[in-house]
Amino acid sequence: MENLLEIKNLKITTLRGKNTVRLLDKVDLNVKKKCSFGVVGESGCGKSITANAILGLLPYPLRVSEGSIRYDSKDGERELLRLNKKEMRQVRGQEISMIFQEPMTSLDPIFTVEMQMFEALSFHHPHMGKAEMRERALEMLRRVNIPRPEQTLSSYAHQLSGGQLQRIMIAIALINDPRLLLADEPTTALDVTIQAQILKLMNDLKEQNDTSIIMITHDLGVIAETCEEVAVFYAGQIVEQASVVELFSHTAHPYTLGLLRAVTSLGGESRKLYTIPGIVPPGGQWSQGCRFADRCEKCMDRCRREMPGLTEAAPGHLCRCFLHSGEVEA
């Protein structure tokens, strides 16, 4: 396989009463080896369910109704959607790790940090001795710049700050040297100075370990700091995709332009300057035309009748908008 992860035509549905409701529509994503790939969009656009689908963690009644997620594992190519529970547990944590959206609730309050780090290690290394596990846990805590790592090992979640907890989550996610890290809003709950530190740390770890990262965020500023490629999600679809340099220099989709105006600059100004008027239409309540039409300043008649396809605005730069499809207004 050329890429580390290839998602093709991924569709996710849920049940509302007796009705099947679409939440994600025909998503294609390729993540190269040793690359950081950004997924950006407002709340409810389908970022987390995409990440959860990769690791087989969609909660019932959500399910993948169609598509394929191929992964180039150490043991050869795997179709992740066809793995059984046991096979998926082997992949999870060892080959692919996830940092979840809520750092404060991701650590178990009744176990020490040491117990939780040992658990992550021993699942994939059942024969590793206590002394070796302790050494590895301390090494990871040092790498994520935790002061007094010995003392931290015997701490409980409530004794640690949000920034420390997030570093520990990263240490646990990386303890088995995964090849792919899914980071779902890893810094949203933290203040801007700590955000910048954590993002720098993730960049450093990526360089040292050759880990690919899927960075999920609602903030294009975070993408600019950390990623090489980016896909912009809107209402369960990809609406723009390009290299980060291309996306920032030749932004095409009106939604991405709105997100750019709303960027919070890292480490400095944290006040939102602009919010796109209106809200993301919920799953299943999408119009037949462009899903952004109600909020778009450039909306044309055609946009309400027809759904724009994802077409090339420039080589390697995909955009779902009639303004960039190369077609004349019908």
User: Minimum distance between the CB of residue 236 and ligand SF4, rounded to whole angstroms?
Assistant: 15
User: Minimum distance between the CB of residue 94 and ligand ATP, rounded to whole angstroms?
Assistant: 25
* CA distance linking residue 32 with residue 157, whole number of Å: 35
User: Minimum distance between the CB of residue 217 and ligand ATP, rounded to whole angstroms?
Assistant: 8
User: Minimum distance between the CB of residue 186 and ligand ATP, rounded to whole angstroms?
Assistant: 12
State the binding partner of 76 from ligand SF4, ligand ATP, Mg ion, none, CB within 5 to 8 A by kind: none
Q: Are 119 and 133 in contact (CB under 8 A)?
A: no
Strands 180-184 and 317-319, how do they pair? unpaired
Q: Which is nearer to ligand ATP, 156 or 286 (CB)?
A: 286
* CA distance linking residue 166 with residue 80, whole number of Å: 27
State the binding partner of 98 from ligand ATP, Mg ion, ligand SF4, none, CB within 5 to 8 A by kind: none
Residues in Cβ contact with 264 at an 8 Å cutoff, skipping those fewer than 6 apart: 192, 219, 221, 270, 271, 272
Q: Which is nearer to ligand SF4, 88 or 300 (CB)?
A: 300
Count of beta carbons in the 10 Å neighbourhood of residue 5: 24
Q: In what order do the strands lie in the sheet with 5-16?
A: 19-31, 5-16, 63-73, 76-79
Cis amide prior to 61 (ω within 30 degrees) = yes
Name residues contacting Mg ion, limited to 14-73 (CB under 5 A): 48
Nearest to 247, CA basis, from 319, 308, 145 = 319
User: Minimum distance between the CB of residue 310 and ligand SF4, rounded to whole angstroms?
Assistant: 11
Residues that bind ligand SF4 (CB under 6 A): 254, 290, 292-293, 296, 298-300, 303, 308, 321-323
97 binds Mg ion (CB under 5 A): no
Q: Which is nearer to ligand ATP, 41 or 149 (CB)?
A: 41
Q: Which is nearer to ligand ATP, 45 or 121 (CB)?
A: 45
User: Minimum distance between the CB of residue 26 and ligand ATP, rounded to whole angstroms?
Assistant: 15
State the binding partner of 99 from ligand SF4, ligand ATP, Mg ion, none, CB within 5 to 8 A by kind: none
Strands 5-16 and 212-217, how do they pair? unpaired
Burial (CB count within 10 angstroms: exposed 0-12, middle 13-18, buried 19+), residue 196: middle
Residues that bind ligand ATP (CB under 6 A): 14, 23, 41, 43-49, 59, 62, 101, 218, 282-283
Site for Mg ion, rule CB under 5 A: 48
